[in-house]
Structure 1
Amino acid sequence: MLLVEDDRETADMLADLFTAEGYRVDVALDGHRGLHLGLSRRHQVVVLDRMLPGIDGVDLVTRLRRVGVTTRVLMLTALGELPDRVLGLDSGADDYLVKPFEVDELLARVRALHRRDLAGAELLPLGSGQLDLRRREACLADGARVQLSMREFTLLHTLAADPKSVHDRSRLRKRVFPDTSAESIVDTYVHYLRRKLGRDVIRTVHGLGYQMGTL
């Protein structure tokens, strides 16, 4: 689970609560840290506040959805008016709970999102294998499953969703790594994917960029 909450006392209380329920919890105290963790690590559920320093909750969810992060999101906030709830859900959140809240209801809503995550696996063809869009894993032809980091998954998903196109580094950098201006990061993550899945998983088109290869 990823918990994004700028009030440290509330964040500590919620982290203890979720940990006691058996979740492994990453905590971010501002929107920038929350975005970094959401892009770089795998989570089943995100619980976040609306009013965050740096990047607010609506913008954070919008950015995650824009790059293909499908993790279930619960907004937990004091902003409870109808326009606030509509904006939160329209930004890409799956659920919206207003503070103050009942602990039992919060835990029930998180469990419901977790069940939806486990039941909602989608598979994208990946050569002789498949890409599990919900669990963010590469499923090899022999049945083996390879876990991917969030950025590895997003890069591979971008290529696999349009396998015939050649994707230039600039476009890949803007889509997959919006928080950095260094296009060399694309080459770094291509290397990581090849190391995990084989040299042929991504094809280099010299002078143009990268194209989906064969798994």
Structure 2
Amino acid sequence: MRILIIEDDQELCQTLAYRLKKEGIASDLCHDGAEGLEIARGNAYDLILLDRMLPSLSGTDLLAQYRREGFVTPVILVTALGEVRERVEGLDAGADDYLVKPIAFEELMARIRSISRRPQRYDSSRSAVDQGLSLELDTKVLSYREKSCCLSKTEGDLMEVFLKNPGKILSRNMILTKVWGISTEVEEGNLDNYIHFLRRRLKSIDSIHSIRTIRGIGYSLEV
């Protein structure tokens, strides 16, 4: 499991990261709201620990924007703001859970375990669809109108990422992590090869979709 901690208290960040590491959980640390949003967008995490009171962008504004963009990564708000109204605001912004500081590490771990047992929202459907282009997740059959083709497992996993994020610019690192895993040592050239394969697949079924290269960043599925 890999967690992003967005918290302006650097000492707390380091303490949490140290204790999480002892539990076998890797952490990335960020102390600024706007920077945290960019990191969350560009990487695949299993969970985000998010403070509410952050420089440049508040935790609730960060979370609300993250959810509007379609990201479903579980988020636990960890904050000193513990009034009922403040809890409601945080949960309504899209938090999956809410912890009030000072926190007991044992309780944090229990909340993390609880969230990890929940079925992921993006797994509720066994297909991914965008404007007539569909992928059956079990069989890896890609279809557009009357035409279809079978994808390899890796091609299917890659297309699933695009279809669940249509029109969004996806960083190379995020795609590599989603398809090949966080600890992957796959070369980036492999991603370019599979993008080439998918473009040929889309052409073969006469789809109106295309995978656009965003120079220096990554790719986007567009119509």
- Take 2:70 and 2:134, find their aligned partners in 1: how far apart are those partners? 23
1:97 to 94, 99, 123: 99
- Take 2:119 and 2:47, find their aligned partners in 1: how far apart are those partners? 8
Map of 1:142-153 to 2, 5 A cutoff?
A: 144-145=153-154, 153=161
1:157 maps onto 2:164 in alignment:
yes
Q: Is the 8 A contact 1:194 1:200 kept in 2?
A: no
Aligned length: 172
Aligned AA (2:163): L
Q: Aligned in 2, Cα 1:84/1:128: closer, same or farther, shift over 3 Å?
A: closer
Deviation at 1:95, TM superposition (A): 0.3
SS at match of 1:19: helix
2:68 to 66, 69, 88: 66
Aligned AA (1:197): L
2:52 to 50, 53, 62: 50
TM-score, structure 1 as length reference: 0.67
Q: Is the 8 A contact 2:50 2:78 kept in 1?
A: yes
Q: Is the 8 A contact 2:128 2:163 kept in 1?
A: no
Q: Kindly provide the CA deviation profile for residues 94-129 of structure 1, in whole angstroms up to 9, marking residues without a partner as x.
A: 000000111100111011112225587233335573
Q: Could you tell which deviates more after superposition, 115-124 or 89-98? A: 115-124
Deviation at 1:11, TM superposition (A): 0.6
Q: Could you tell which deviates more after superposition, 1-10 or 85-94? A: 1-10
1:164 aligned residue: none
Q: Is the 8 A contact 1:45 1:71 kept in 2?
A: yes
- Take 1:119 and 1:210, find their aligned partners in 2: how far apart are those partners? 23
1:210 maps onto 2:222 in alignment:
yes
Structure 1: unaligned runs, 5 residues or longer: 133-138, 160-171, 178-190
Q: Kindly provide the CA deviation profile for residues 49-95 of structure 1, in whole angstroms up to 9, marking residues without a partner as x.
A: 01011111101111110111000110000000000000000000000
Q: Is the 8 A contact 2:128 2:164 kept in 1?
A: no
Q: Aligned in 2, Cα 1:143/1:108: closer, same or farther, shift over 3 Å?
A: farther
Q: Is the 8 A contact 1:71 1:117 kept in 2?
A: no
1:187 aligned residue: none
- Take 1:142 and 1:53, find their aligned partners in 2: how far apart are those partners? 45
Aligned AA (1:61): L
TM-score, structure 2 as length reference: 0.65
Q: CA RMSD of the aligned region, Å?
A: 3.3
- Take 1:97 and 1:3, find their aligned partners in 2: how far apart are those partners? 14
Among the aligned pairs, what percent are the same residue? Answer: 36
Q: Is the 8 A contact 2:47 2:74 kept in 1?
A: yes
Structure of greater Rg? 2
Q: Aligned in 2, Cα 1:194/1:143: closer, same or farther, shift over 3 Å?
A: closer
1:197 aligned residue: 198
1:168 aligned residue: none
- Take 1:121 and 1:3, find their aligned partners in 2: how far apart are those partners? 24
Aligned AA (1:210): E
1:109 maps onto 2:116 in alignment:
no
Q: Aligned in 2, Cα 1:119/1:62: closer, same or farther, shift over 3 Å?
A: closer
Q: Is the 8 A contact 1:44 1:117 kept in 2?
A: no
SS at match of 1:197: helix
1:125 maps onto 2:128 in alignment:
yes
Q: Kindly provide the CA deviation profile for residues 12-66 of structure 1, in whole angstroms up to 9, marking residues without a partner as x.
A: 0111111211112111111112101110011111111010111111011111101
SS at match of 1:96: strand
- Take 1:46 and 1:17, find their aligned partners in 2: how far apart are those partners? 16
